[in-house]
Chain A
Amino acid sequence: MSRFLIKRLFSATLTLFAVSVLTFLMFFALPRDPVSGMCPKNCSPERLERVRDDLGLNDPLVSQYAGYMKGIVTGRDLGSAQGGRCDAPCLGWSYVSNEAVSDTIARVLPVTLSIVIPAAILWLLLGVGLGMVSALRRGTWVDRAAIGFSLTGASLQLYFVGAVLLLVFVYNLRLLPVPSYTSLFDNPAKWASGLVLAWVALAFLFSAIYARLSRAQMLETLSEDFVRTARAKGLAKPKVYGRHALRAAITPVVTIAGLDVGGALGGTVITETTFGIQGLGRTAVDAVRSGDLPTIMATVLIAAVFVVLANVLVDLLYAAIDPRVRLR
């Protein structure tokens, strides 16, 4: 088990390293002059040159990359123009927002977490529950309704659902405030009411997919011999379905959930744009629009970290769900 874990962690680190190199090359080495984007309009040539020097853009690429990575691990000195000492994890300095990128990230990351984690809990419960119920009641109206729901949900677009929800609940019925983020610890009620539409929209679309998948998996599992054996030896239905069958059916769901949650944590770009909430995804979009390279780099890296970590977590969960995996 520990060997398996070490192997996974090693390959995860390798992937992250490659993502960082690729992103670095893509954004720092492409012909577009990074400085012109970072410097506000009408920079004088001297100022441009100074910025370029501050950023170390006149250094060779390899040492730029090494400096950047070193900053993440140990922190580094960026020079007075960039706020001086930058503690680890140092992600650079943004000339657009005039603050350390790590401060920006620290501000917007809780927003994205607050959107994704409750939404993920909602969509997993709803999706897997619906899939289970429709598999157990196969062919009845419950099943047909669930299939209809999941087909519709899988074809709807988040921005459209979001727009409709906004129109109905915020603008017409005035049941909810305009979506916004308040810290959970400051005011839980306001936190929830400001984000609930985003949760519902995400959960609706995602649970559709999970309902489909878990229904298919459950149907397959229900026809397996061990389910019949369990029933034959007199185990109660809830126990057979809830413990034996569900456990076998849920593994592919876990894989996809890991990818989805990891991907969503890396930035719910569409959700945040639709509801006008400033999280990681929106920050990335803004950074791209204003050519704010250090921020782009940081958001891409963080997104990659979430996906890779989620993958490792999925592997661990596999081992917990399926004892056969542990033997490898």
Chain B
Amino acid sequence: MSLSPVEGVALAEIESDPDASAPAAKGVVGRSPGQLAWLRLRRDRTAKVSGVLLIFFMLLALAAPLIEMVYGIGPREQFQNLLDGFGMPLGYAGGVTGDHWFGLEPGLGRDIFIRLIYGLRTSLFIAFAAALITATIGVVLGALAGYLGGWFDAVINWITDLTLAMPFLIIALALTPTVTLRFYGERGQVSAAFGVGVLIAVFAIFGWTSTARLVRGQVIALREREFVEAAKASGAGLAHMLFRQLLPNIWAPILVSFSLAVPQFITSEAALSFIGVGLSDETPSFGRMIYDSLDFLQTDPAYVFFPGIMIFALVFAFNLFGDALRDALDPKSSR
């Protein structure tokens, strides 16, 4: 699958060093590789700034109902009285006022700020859930494929190639309505939670292969090491082998790939909403807002810019943090 072109790069960069066990710090205090990475991360200015920004975004998303209470406007409230005869918001920059910080949507007259806050919530939830699920499936299947080899490895490899050859956007586009139809029939009222669930499932089906590929490569590099042989000789079972012996050695690249997968899923969710699948208009979402706003590009550019800049800031922060994390976890990193 290729959710976004970044993926390949991320993989290529992550896979650089399989056994990134940092040399023990000289001196009196011994530090674990994890502690060393944490120290490096804390010293990195980019990591600090992007980390704070991410926490801020997550807090915004978590506190959406609270913000709604303080702000006093709901995501579905309409302010038709603030629109002119053509449905365009009155005032400057798309109707930005003290009451409506980011202005109003043309047509329905809903408040953009509170819709963005709820859109953030939708986006982050979907992205984190999809990243968690794909990481879990990918780690288990990738580790099994790498460790067992043989036919299992061949099958997993082949499925990976297959998903790469399928055009993700078109398949997702075609599959989502079909699945929805199957569950709801022609006229059923689709609940928002179901739409979110279908999206996460589609991401999970297509997304696990990249993690599986990464983990498989790492496991193959470790498979012939002495410690694996030693564990095998002392009679370790398969689960112990995978999760107690192998996994602790490769958590660093997995963590990095997880942190870079989240922005990818945010982007993909927006892209899917943008081409009109995924979430219904009821659920606020970034892609959906941009798609709706393109019709007003000439008449109300502010409507395009607020969601566009918001999603850029979010993905940018994630990418910066992912980069910093990779540098911190890589003992060979020169930065």
Contacts and interface: CB of A to CB of B under 8 A. Distances in A.
A281 B168 CA distance: 12
Interface in A261-305: 263, 266-267, 269-270, 273-274, 281, 284-285, 288-289, 296, 299-300, 303-304
Contact of A300 (B13, B166, B270): B166
Interface residues of A, number: 56
Contacts, number: 154
Interface string A221-262: 000000000000000000000000000000010011001100
Contact of B12 (A30, A31, A213, A299): A213
A209 B291 CA distance: 25
Nearest to B2: A263
Contact of B312 (A19, A26, A155, A273): A155
Contacts of A155: 263, 312, 315-316, 319
Nearest to A268: B169
B267 A16 contact: no
Given A163-B294, A252-B12, A289-B276, A300 B170 contact: yes
Contacts of A285: 170, 173, 275-276
Contacts of B287: 159
A151 interface: yes
A253 B173 CA distance: 29
A256 B308 contact: no
B contacts with A: majority SS? helix
Interface residues of B, number: 49
B181 A32 contact: yes
B320 interface: yes
A216 interface: yes
A273 B274 contact: yes
A109 B181 CA distance: 31
B129 interface: no
B9 to A, nearest CB: 5
Interface string A11-37: 100011011001100110011100000
5 contacts: A157-B271, A259-B164, A284-B167, A288-B277, A304-B166
Interface of A: 11, 15-16, 18-19, 22-23, 26-27, 30-32, 151-152, 154-157, 159-160, 163-164, 166-167, 171, 205-206, 209, 212-213, 216, 252, 255-256, 259-260, 263, 266-267, 269-270, 273-274, 281, 284-285, 288-289, 296, 299-300, 303-304, 307-308, 311
